[in-house]
Amino acid sequence: MQALFEDGVLQRNGAVKLAQSMNAVKVPGTVQGVLAARIDRLPADEKELLQTLAVLGREFPLALVRRVTLTPDDELEHMLSRLQAGEFVYEQVAASDVDYTFKHALTQGVAYNALLVERRKLLHERAGVALESMFAGQLDDHLSELAHHDGRSDNIRKAVEYLGRAGQQALQRSAYSDAVTHLTAAIDLLQKLPDSPERIQREVFLQLAVAPALIPIRRYAAPEVERAYTRARELCERLGDPPELFPALCGLWLMHLLRGEMRTVYRLAEQLFRRAQVSQDPALSLYAHYAVGNTSSWMGEFLSAREHLEMGISLYDRERHWPLTFRYGGGRDIGVGCLSYAALTLWQLGYPDQALKRGYEGLALAQALSHPFSLAFARFFVCVLHQLRRESRAAQETAESMVVLSAEHGLTDHLAWATSLRGCTMDGQGRKEEGIAQIQEGMGASRSTGAELWQPYFLHRLAEARMETGRLDDGLSALTEALATADEHENRFYEAETHRVKGELLLWQGAANAPGAEQCFRTAIDVARRQSAKSPELRATMSLARLLASQGRRNETRTMLVDVYNWFTEGFDTADLKDAKALLDELSALTV
pLDDT in tens, 401-425: 999 999 999 888 889 999 999 999 8
Looking at this protein, which amino acid is placed at residue 119? R
Looking at this protein, which amino acid is placed at residue 63? A
The reply to whether 387 falls in a domain is: no
How many other CB atoms are there within 10 angstroms of residue 575's CB atom? 13
Is pLDDT at 7 greater than 60 in this prediction?
Answer: no
Residue scoring higher pLDDT (320 or 588)? 320
Check if the beta carbon of residue 185 is closer than 8 Å to that of residue 144: no
The 3-state DSSP class for residue 51 equals helix
How high is the pLDDT of residue 172? 86
Q: What is the CATH number of the domain that holds 2?
A: 1.10.10.10
The reply to whether 192 falls in a domain is: no
The reply to whether 431 falls in a domain is: no
Of 285, 178, 291, 275, which is closest to residue 233 (Cα–Cα)? 275
What are the distances in angstroms from CA 389 to CA 221, 395, 535? 29, 9, 10
Highest mean pLDDT: which range of 120-124, 163-167, 338-342: 338-342
Is pLDDT at 483 greater than 60 in this prediction?
Answer: yes
The reply to whether 372 falls in a domain is: no
Q: For the chain, what is the domain count?
A: 1
How many other CB atoms are there within 10 angstroms of residue 22's CB atom? 17
How many other CB atoms are there within 10 angstroms of residue 563's CB atom? 11
- What whole-number distance in Å separates Cα of residue 429 and Cα of residue 393? 10
285-294, pLDDT tens digit by residue? 999 999 999 9
The 3-state DSSP class for residue 102 equals strand
Q: Which residues contact 397 (CB under 8 A, 6 or more apart)?
A: none
- What whole-number distance in Å separates Cα of residue 584 and Cα of residue 587? 5
The reply to whether 32 falls in a domain is: yes
> In the structure, what pLDDT confidence band is assigned to residue 9 with cuts at 50, 70 and 90?
very low
Is pLDDT at 371 greater than 80 in this prediction?
Answer: yes
How many other CB atoms are there within 10 angstroms of residue 67's CB atom? 16
- What whole-number distance in Å separates Cα of residue 116 and Cα of residue 120? 6
The reply to whether 25 falls in a domain is: yes
The reply to whether 69 falls in a domain is: yes
320-367, pLDDT tens digit by residue? 999 999 888 678 899 999 999 999 999 999 999 999 999 999 999 999
Check if the beta carbon of residue 151 is closer than 8 Å to that of residue 5: yes
493-518, pLDDT tens digit by residue? 999 999 999 999 999 999 899 999 99
Which residue segment(s) compose the domain that 28 sits in? Answer: 1-115
Question: E strand or H helix at 568, and its extent?
Answer: none
> In the structure, what pLDDT confidence band is assigned to residue 446 with cuts at 50, 70 and 90?
confident
The 3-state DSSP class for residue 180 equals helix
In sequence order, which ranges of 13-60 are alpha helices (DSSP H)?
29-40, 44-56
- What whole-number distance in Å separates Cα of residue 37 and Cα of residue 562? 94
The reply to whether 364 falls in a domain is: no
Task: State the average pLDDT for the chain.
Answer: 89
Most distant CA pair in the chain: distance in Å? 111
Is pLDDT at 437 greater than 60 in this prediction?
Answer: yes
* DSSP per position, 301-315: -HHHHHHHHHHHHHH
> In the structure, what pLDDT confidence band is assigned to residue 3 with cuts at 50, 70 and 90?
very low
How high is the pLDDT of residue 321? 95
CA angle 284, 245, 319 (to 5 degrees): 35
Question: What is the pTM for the complete model shown?
Answer: 0.82
